Structure 1
Amino acid sequence: MSMYTLSGDSSQEKAVKLSSRGGVTNAIEGRHNKTADVVGKGPETTLADGSDIPEKEDALQINVTAHDWNGPDDPENPLNWPLWQRIYHTTVPSLFGFAVTLGSSVYTPGYPDVEKRFKVSSTVALLPLSLYVLGLAFGPVLAAPISETLGRRVVYLISSPIAAMFTLGAGFSNTIAALAITRFFAGFFGSPALAVGAGTNVDLWAPVHRAAAASAFLLAPVLGPAIGPAVGGFAAQYKGWRWTQWPILFLLVPVYLYSLGMKETYKKIILQKRAKRLGIPPPPKVGPSGLAAVKFLITVTLFRPVRMIFTEPIVFFFSFYIGFNFSVLFAFFDAFPIVFEGVYHFDRGFSGLTFLGIGFGSCLGVATTMIFNRLRYHKEYLRSHKEGRGGAVAPEHRLYAAMIGSFGVPVGLFWFAWTSRHDVHWISPVLATVPFAWGNISIFNAATLYLVDVYGPLNGASALAATGLVRYIAGAVSPLFTVQMYDRMGIAWATSLLGFLSLTMLPIPWVLFKFGPQVREKSHFDTIKA
């Protein structure tokens, strides 16, 4: 053990006992017989537990402040929390993300009932789906100011109950307008958990270990929509369209209770609480405050992402690549009933189960990302340390999963296009969704890790916000024209059109792997130089 002097209140000296790892474990305020006074003592001085203080030359004397972590082993730093705590704090945003994104697609099996109940067209009946997804796109604008000023934990605890209340309102809606509006706000207030989840993972995991945690978290935006129709199909078939909203609540409530054990992970807020607890000066304020801070955060989450889309080639190409893949995923919400109910005569419940192929493929995509991270990125990380480069790794080593996965999307689409007919067993188009989903999540995960590595934490958040805007706007729009496209072109050619479009985007990760360093050099933003 070592003892460290804490500078703070001039009227009272505080001693803080640090563990051998260097973290604060106990603060004692001038109480006799409860601490050992290090200052001016020799090696004969003992600690409260009777153990000897190390020799003077071995005793490290520092001032503990709230300006930064107390060294790399500070136990209050989430990177140093026990593994079980980091896993728990990773599962919370993952579960919220699953529940919120399931809410998008769980509605789709019930939209024919909505069409009949409110006597509207199929396009209007699909508006509650599109507006929910649109809410997911713009919710992060709300999350950023709250996260920056109050911390990440508050975002989970405040936004999710509001989303649950609007979901409850959607289930009891008696007009199509009320249903559409409540669904929009359910998505809007549900999405902050998704937006803050990425930051939570950055708080908890060092870059070399981040891929596994990020892959599990990023699985939610795909796995949720894949499971939604399976749940909503049986709910709509046996209970009616209103029951497509209750599964969202059945998930949100227990996940919310599970989240109550969370601690704050955001460094700024942790240091502020440390300062208040120990009575020492708080961390210095960096950047604007008050309304200027809100304006700055809206810039980071909305205006800067839009600017990056049109000025940063890396952000532009990956935003539209990911946006296209997600538009296909959401188009499948309309296409699957056409295929499996129209061609194979499934009922709504079993038609929803066919989306499980997408769920399985998504899990394979996560595994692919983790395998490449272990075999390639981790290997480069160790080599960098061995060569004295401090673990710096070129971001392009994140792209292997996207490069391989880029083939899965067109393969799955063409397979689905030309086997969705009466004379081919229904299992074939179901299996076709596996390579599509595998490619989709492989590209999505790899691109997300790549963008964070290229642009760093702050600009990386804006880059991810850019991909999120495009992804969810594309997902919101595609269901509105899918039925018309499949009616006019037929299943084979409508899906083939999507396959041909995916082929035009296939080279994107390959080109960036080859020329990424040159593109990064010309960026308008600070980028990694590895």
Structure 2
Amino acid sequence: MDGNQFPMADSQSQDETSLEDPALGEKSMEDTEPDKKSIEEPEPGENTSQDPESEVKRTDKEQEVTLEDHEDPQKWPHLKKSYYTLGVGLASFSVTVAASMITPGTPEIETKFHVGETPAILTLIVYVLGLALGPVIASPISESLGRAAIYRITPPIYMLLTMGVGFVDSFGGLLVLRFLAGTAGSPPIAMGAGTIADMYAPSRRAAPLCLLISTPFLGSGLGPVIGGFAAYYKGYRWTQWSTIFVAIAVYIYTFPMGETYRNALIKRKAERLGIDTHEPPMKDMLVQLFHVTLVRPFKVPFLEPIVQVLTFYNAFTFSVLFTFFAAFPYVFGKVYGFNTWQSGLAFLGIGVGVVLAGITGVLVDQYMYQPRLRQAIAEGKPGLPPEYMLFSAMLGAPAVPASLFWFGWTARSSINWMSPIIAGGLFSWGSVTIFLSAAMYLIQSYGASYGASAMAANGIGRYLMSGAFPLFTIQMYETLGIGWATSLMAFVAVLLVPIPFVFFKFGPYFRRKSSMIQ
């Protein structure tokens, strides 16, 4: 999970390009302005098209208040930026690891609460739905309080709700508290990309964004590993205590992090200097926030074929990952006789694949994208078209069906258990590289505001589809068998392989036909 990587998010200054779930920052205030440098000197290669709904005029606040170098996150020392970047990644990891950590405990949940296998898996699904809802709440709060307040306030609430999950003695209460815990935990994920955008210029964001986008997937992959040991030796409640231990350690690390959101920093400095910031009426703020966080993300996919295609592609690969949360214990238990913690260890392959995908994204940026960007600038061009963001996806797309066929037909007792584990790692590598490219492509194509809405729509599609897949996973594997059940998903993946290649070839044509790309 991405964290989505999760779609709805807080407002950005216009020079920010941020990713959701994943987590995507959303520009939501019409008075939000870029600094002078961002107006006069756009970053090479950045899409400078203006969103007509977000065109704004310079405010008195930015005319009268400027940030000193030590106050401006863009000018912080590299070491300080690295500290904050790691903190954002850890925050995303701590929340997403909790989503899948409970899955090894579902057999005990079935016994304790006298429910079937499908209802028990709802403990995973409702948490993910909470992750999707939380940013809608965090967005208006961060608009007035800034990012730092959200990073400090929401984790304790999330930990208290997680504690409630561990203590509750009714299945209904368990599901409600899991949903609320996901809702309370999600805001740091939603604001993560915005925090990166606060500190790094667009041409310098690739590496930190690869780290940020990878950590939710890594959390999802390692959750069953930790949860497998906790559930096997201590019971499912200890999956929740383990979640809290991880959250406390991360909270200690992130608590000293200060504010990075430029508007909040300027507003606070203006208040210290006694300068009127001319804030818009609260009613206008809420109307605009409602539009960009709720209305526009549902409007974009109906109007934009680019968003429709990439959303379906990301939703499918994300849903297959969720299928594995139910399929791995079934496959490794049935074929290889793995117990709970051993089945959890099988997810290490997925974790390794996620790490390699993040490294791949950084290497592709450094050795494939940046050299071409420098060459384009040397030739007097403003930059590269968005299609050059698809390099990673073109590498990873063939790996998805190949890994699924590999997994399905080598998961048998006559073949060593390492084979399907490695196949799972190849799948996670391919799916994360696709997600990285799709996110960058949407942002570069649609600009800051519509790009945020496009990624929000992308996230909604992922959550809806991935929430449904685990509900029929076991039935599908029991009916079709391991080989054909996995191959069914592989055949769909084969049909999707050409997508990044088609967009690389015909992307300029598709963008010219768009009503939202200037």
What is the match of residue 394 of structure 2? 403
**2:124 equivalent to 1:124:** no
1:370 to 362, 386, 402: 362
Alignment of 1:83-122 (within 5 A): 83-122=78-117
Alignment of 1:126-525 (within 5 A): 126-282=121-277, 285=279, 289-390=281-382, 392-525=383-516
Distance 1:409 1:69, change over 3 A: farther
Question: Separation in 2 of the partners of 1:120 and 1:210?
Answer: 46
Question: Separation in 2 of the partners of 1:281 and 1:385?
Answer: 42
The AA in structure 1 aligned to 2:476 is M
The AA in structure 1 aligned to 2:123 is P
The AA in structure 1 aligned to 2:254 is S
Cα deviation for residue 96 of structure 1 reads 1.0
Cα deviation for residue 302 of structure 1 reads 2.5
Question: Separation in 2 of the partners of 1:198 and 1:482?
Answer: 32
The AA in structure 1 aligned to 2:227 is G
Cα deviation for residue 243 of structure 1 reads 0.8
Question: Separation in 1 of the partners of 2:67 and 2:150?
Answer: 27
Question: Separation in 1 of the partners of 2:152 and 2:448?
Answer: 24
Question: Separation in 1 of the partners of 2:432 and 2:342?
Answer: 24
Question: Separation in 1 of the partners of 2:208 and 2:425?
Answer: 22
**Contact 1:301–1:461 under 8 Å retained in 2:** no
**Contact 1:321–1:505 under 8 Å retained in 2:** yes
Partner secondary structure for residue 474 of structure 2: helix
The AA in structure 1 aligned to 2:387 is E
Partner secondary structure for residue 337 of structure 2: coil
Cα deviation for residue 256 of structure 1 reads 1.5
Cα deviation for residue 125 of structure 1 reads 1.0
The AA in structure 2 aligned to 1:313 is P
Partner secondary structure for residue 399 of structure 1: helix
**Contact 1:412–1:435 under 8 Å retained in 2:** yes
Cα deviation for residue 70 of structure 1 reads 8.0
Question: Separation in 2 of the partners of 1:303 and 1:70?
Answer: 33
Cα deviation for residue 339 of structure 1 reads 1.1
Cα deviation for residue 281 of structure 1 reads 4.0
Cα deviation for residue 97 of structure 1 reads 0.7
Cα deviation for residue 73 of structure 1 reads 8.5
Cα deviation for residue 224 of structure 1 reads 0.5
**Contact 1:144–1:298 under 8 Å retained in 2:** no
**Structure whose residues are more often helix by fraction:** 2
**Contact 2:67–2:266 under 8 Å retained in 1:** no
454-463 or 354-363, which deviates more: 454-463
Per-residue CA deviation, residues 422-462 of structure 1 (Å, 9 max, x unaligned), is 11111111111121111011011111122222222222221
Distance 1:383 1:76, change over 3 A: farther
Cα deviation for residue 407 of structure 1 reads 0.8
Question: Separation in 2 of the partners of 1:235 and 1:460?
Answer: 40
Partner secondary structure for residue 259 of structure 2: coil
What is the match of residue 48 of structure 1? none
**Contact 1:138–1:469 under 8 Å retained in 2:** no
**Contact 2:195–2:260 under 8 Å retained in 1:** yes
Question: Separation in 2 of the partners of 1:359 and 1:216?
Answer: 13
The AA in structure 1 aligned to 2:360 is T
Question: Separation in 2 of the partners of 1:144 and 1:462?
Answer: 13
The AA in structure 1 aligned to 2:458 is T
228-237 or 87-96, which deviates more: 87-96
**Contact 1:208–1:381 under 8 Å retained in 2:** no
Cα deviation for residue 171 of structure 1 reads 0.6
**Contact 1:147–1:196 under 8 Å retained in 2:** no
What is the match of residue 17 of structure 2? none
**2:96 equivalent to 1:76:** no
Cα deviation for residue 205 of structure 1 reads 1.2
**Contact 1:68–1:271 under 8 Å retained in 2:** no
The AA in structure 2 aligned to 1:341 is G
**Contact 2:198–2:260 under 8 Å retained in 1:** yes
Cα deviation for residue 228 of structure 1 reads 0.5
How high is the TM-score relative to the length of structure 2?
0.85
Per-residue CA deviation, residues 353-387 of structure 1 (Å, 9 max, x unaligned), is 01000011111111111111112221233234323
Per-residue CA deviation, residues 474-523 of structure 1 (Å, 9 max, x unaligned), is 22221111111111111111100010111121111111111212222222
Per-residue CA deviation, residues 96-126 of structure 1 (Å, 9 max, x unaligned), is 1101111111010000100000111111111
Question: Separation in 1 of the partners of 2:132 and 2:465?
Answer: 10
Question: Separation in 1 of the partners of 2:511 and 2:155?
Answer: 37
Aligned-residue CA RMSD in angstroms? 2.0
What is the match of residue 50 of structure 2? none
Question: Separation in 2 of the partners of 1:174 and 1:105?
Answer: 20
The AA in structure 1 aligned to 2:315 is G
Distance 1:70 1:314, change over 3 A: farther
**Contact 1:69–1:77 under 8 Å retained in 2:** no
How high is the TM-score relative to the length of structure 1?
0.84
Per-residue CA deviation, residues 61-105 of structure 1 (Å, 9 max, x unaligned), is xxxx84169889844331111111111111122111101111111
The AA in structure 2 aligned to 1:372 is V
Choose 1 or 2 for highest CA Rg.
Answer: 1
Bigger RCO (CA 8 Å, 6+ sep): 2
The AA in structure 1 aligned to 2:103 is T
Question: Separation in 2 of the partners of 1:68 and 1:327?
Answer: 48
